Amino acid sequence: MHWSGYSNAFIGRTQTAAAHSDYRAISDLILSYDNRLLIKSGGAANIPAIGIDTSNNVGIGGIPTNSGSKFQITGGAFFSGSVSLSSN
């Protein structure tokens, strides 16, 4: 499905490799938008659970606000099991 308007929005499955992006393989599911992509539930006042900005920075617990980070957690985080951190 493709919606046009102020920004392009697309959800679909690729039928050929590299369709819609150089990084997609056959049968990948794509959710794409030219602006921020937000995933949330609840009322309008609830902040997004996951936010992805136009530079593909990801925020958990809100929209990413630190442009120098690819991943940002707002609020508390709980980890079960091992956690590895890398500077790569």
Among positive and negative, which fits the CA dihedral 54, 30, 85, 62?
positive
What is residue 4's predicted lDDT score, i.e. its pLDDT?
A: 64
DSSP state of 80: -
What is residue 3's predicted lDDT score, i.e. its pLDDT?
A: 66
Q: What is the pTM of this model?
A: 0.72
What is residue 49's predicted lDDT score, i.e. its pLDDT?
A: 92
List the chain residues with pLDDT less than 50: none
Number of H helices, E strands in the chain: 0, 7
C-beta atoms surrounding 64 within 10 Å = 22
Task: Match 């606000």 to its residue by tokens.
Answer: 65
Q: Which amino acid is at 27?
A: S
DSSP state of 2: E
